[in-house]
A and B are shown apart, each in its own frame.
Chain A
Amino acid sequence: NAGVTQTPKFQVLKTGQSMTLQCAQDMNHEYMSWYRQDPGMGLRLIHYSVGAGITDQGEVPNGYNVSRSTTEDFPLRLLSAAPSQTSVYFCASSRQETTSTDTQYFGPGTRLTVL
């Protein structure tokens, strides 16, 4: 199994540009989530999904959209990038949302810079 994969690893955008961060998992996990990591602020939850077709907002959803058309994929879209979105983005998945006692598996991260 590849686990959780994220592409790209690095990205530089100009203010106002749009892009999609890709996340895929091959473990048949129902629960997937996106976090951003900023110095001194830990990981903050952006959006999460408890299964295909179901998404919900986390702590910091503004400026980001998500969709979950398949169990495997959970892309994160920035419609109009802003410098405040400069961060490292992590995707994670776990087996069951209903209990959420299972371990979350993290991707390697995408380092995004918005100029």
Chain B
Amino acid sequence: AQSVAQPEDQVNVAEGNPLTVKCTYSVSGNPYLFWYVQYPNRGLQFLLKYITGDNLVKGSYGFEAEFNKSQTSFHLKKPSALVSDSALYFCAVRVYSSASKIIFGSGTRLSIRP
């Protein structure tokens, strides 16, 4: 079955340290992968996407993600975390059935402590 997984419910990082939020996927064909962020009581906001090309994708707010085809992963990273990065992060992937559609992982809550 085509799917996307976020193995960590919560990630805790000290401000200024690097952060990683993990995502793995299982799709047929070439994967189209996305990261979204959700702040409290808000809808989701787009961070970045991988379609093709360079495996390292740069996005909003200093985030980047690395596509790894052999490990079927698309981990979200940031070199130096900010307290304002605390939010819920969702990985998403385009899957194919009768029509293409986007499905989301279960989300990872990122908490940055001062």
Contact = CB atoms under 8 A, between A and B. Distances in A.
Interface of A: 4, 33, 35, 40-45, 48, 50, 56, 58-59, 90, 92, 97-98, 100-101, 103-109
Contact of A50 (B43, B90, B99): B99
Contact of A35 (B49, B99, B104, B106): B104
Given A40-B106, A42-B90, A42-B107, A58 B101 contact: yes
A100 B44 contact: no
Given A42-B106, A56-B99, A107 B43 contact: yes
B32 to A, nearest CB: 6
A59 B97 CA distance: 11
Size class of the B contact interface (CB-based, 8 Å): 20 to 34
20 contacts: A33-B101, A42-B104, A42-B107, A43-B104, A43-B107, A44-B104, A56-B99, A56-B101, A92-B44, A97-B99, A101-B32, A103-B34, A104-B34, A104-B44, A104-B46, A104-B102, A106-B44, A108-B43, A109-B41, A109-B43
